[in-house]
Amino acid sequence: MKALAVDPRCAHARVLRSGGASPDRGALNNLITLYSKSGRRSDAIRIFQSIPNPNVVSWTCLISTFHDSTLSFHHFLSMLRRPGRLFPNHRTLSALLKTCASLPALSFGIQLHSMAHKLGLSSEPFTASALVSFYCKTSFLNNAQKVFDEMLDRDEVCFSSIIVGMAQNRRPVEAMSYFLEMKRSGVASTTHSISATLRAASEMALVEQCRTLHGHAVRTGLDSDVVVGSALIDGYGRCGLIREARAVFDELETSLIDVGWSTMMSAYAQQGDSKNAIELFAAMQSRGMKPDGYCFLAVLTAFCHAGLSQEAKKWFRAMQEDYNLEPWLEHYTCLITAMGKAGELGPAETVASTMPFKPDAAVWRALLSTSAHHGETDMAWKMRDRLLEINPNDDSAYDKGVGKEGGRSWIEVRGEVHAFSAEDRAHERREEIYDKLGELKGEIEKLGYVPVWNEMLHDVDESHKAEVLWQHSEKLALAFGLLSGVNPCGKPLRIVKNLRICRDCHEAFKYVSRVVEMEIVVRDVNRYHTFLSGSCTCGDSW
């Protein structure tokens, strides 16, 4: 049963009764914190002003009261300017660094780092953890790693800070590496370190890593925690293991908050499974829970992937009219994509042009893809131009000869991750990989495969086009996976792509699934593609 919050006025009355005219300073410091946590900031200031000789703890309590405001900086500077030369302690610096991260206030945070260094506090775990979080939240990851490396004593909070920071900045390899270092160091796991590492593993759809982390959570007794449970649902869902995700969800259903429910809906949505997403939505309502924007985003994403335009329109209207929720840009993008897939290209463009948001690259990319799919060349060129106005290097608009810029693919083989980039020749089995690609190319050509050229491609010599197409990262990962025998007991071969899978790779994978008689799953930046017996679950539109 949740404990009732203490009314700070009752606590204040007790302090006055017991302390008389001169209450204990420690008791007054606690009152500042109590008033702050209850949102009564003016009372917190009044208590602080009643302290005859505030110490660094008193000032820290006041500074923490304004954790989301530059007023915390104002009070800190007032502390430094007062007679008596008070200096901040590790808790003062931690509170200020949290404010710097949330505002953000990079310059002030760097100055605090300098002060911490001069005071000999920068390597102390409490301050160092706050510095790591600050630099991660402001995307100065090298600084965060340097601070972590210089820590004298790393506890679970320190490791959680760097693991969470790397995962939030989409640096999954580093996040998992720090988690392994934490375990080797004998430091205990926390809900934050496990959930962040799960997020990192799911970012790359590393099935075995997610299963290993699940087992670790069970052994440490953290699997029943709501945060870890939601991360497990997300991890399995993003790996395409829907049954495993649902098993975790069913086990924790009674304790999960709305985040866990929307996460499970999103797992269904990734597969275009609108039926189960809607059933879960209804079940959530039957339990008295109010759906939020994330729940509607999951349902609309499912309709988007399934190309169900009329259903998407209906739910989009219901979101506004029945639930009084204002759609986000992401909701509009799902609606536009669903309409585009259904061939409603003109109306979809109208929605994009009249919505209360400036269309971003994702909107124009969706219209480009769907117009190209329906053979509307003029509109495709128009959408291409709008896309390139936003991002001249967008890989969806054209393929640049050397492959999609920054394109990488990953495949997990017996718990080890192998990464490939376009025209990659760094792998130790490169000769076998390219030989396998040549063999596959010959086999699928016999079945009728013809390379899919990007009609907007102008800067690649004809004789070099086929060679370029067959050196894309996803094809290299596919060849390596087949060589490594990652299909035990009929399990799918799984590949992760950090960008959108190109049309030629998509076409080739359909044919390869026939040749090898195997299910091939590719998770690209847009969705899951499951290739089997010559077809893909996306219906050739993504």
At 358, the pLDDT band (50, 70, 90 cuts) reads very high
Rounded to whole angstroms, the Cα distance separating 32 from 357 reads 42
pTM of the model: 0.80
Given this model, what pLDDT does residue 461 score? 60
Rounded to whole angstroms, the Cα distance separating 524 from 496 reads 6
At 390, the pLDDT band (50, 70, 90 cuts) reads confident
At 404, the pLDDT band (50, 70, 90 cuts) reads very low
Task: Specify the long-range contacts of residues 356-364, CB closer than 8 Å, at least 24 apart.
Answer: 357/329, 357/332, 359/386, 360/329, 360/390, 361/387, 361/390, 361/391, 361/394, 362/333, 363/329, 363/332, 363/333, 363/336, 364/390
Between 538 and 497, where is the model more confident? 497
pLDDT digits (tens, 9 = 90+) for 256-296: 777 889 999 999 998 888 999 999 999 999 998 999 999 99
Q: At what angle do helices 191-203 and 156-168 cross, to 10 degrees?
A: 30
Contact 530, 521 (CB under 8 A): yes
By CB neighbour count within 10 A (0-12 exposed, 13-18 middle, 19+ buried), where does 430 fall? Answer: middle
Beta bridge mates, 327: none
Q: Which of 186, 172, 148, 180 is nearest to 235 (CA)?
A: 172
At 1, the pLDDT band (50, 70, 90 cuts) reads very low
At 491, the pLDDT band (50, 70, 90 cuts) reads confident
Rounded to whole angstroms, the Cα distance separating 33 from 40 reads 10
At 393, the pLDDT band (50, 70, 90 cuts) reads low
Mean pLDDT of the chain: 88
Given this model, what pLDDT does residue 462 score? 60
Residue type, 67: H
Contact 262, 292 (CB under 8 A): yes
Residue type, 352: A
Q: Which of 386, 333, 452, 506 is nearest to 394 (CA)?
A: 386
Rounded to whole angstroms, the Cα distance separating 158 from 266 reads 31
Given this model, what pLDDT does residue 256 score? 78
With a CB cutoff of 8 Å and minimum separation 6, the contacts of 151 are 123, 125, 128, 158
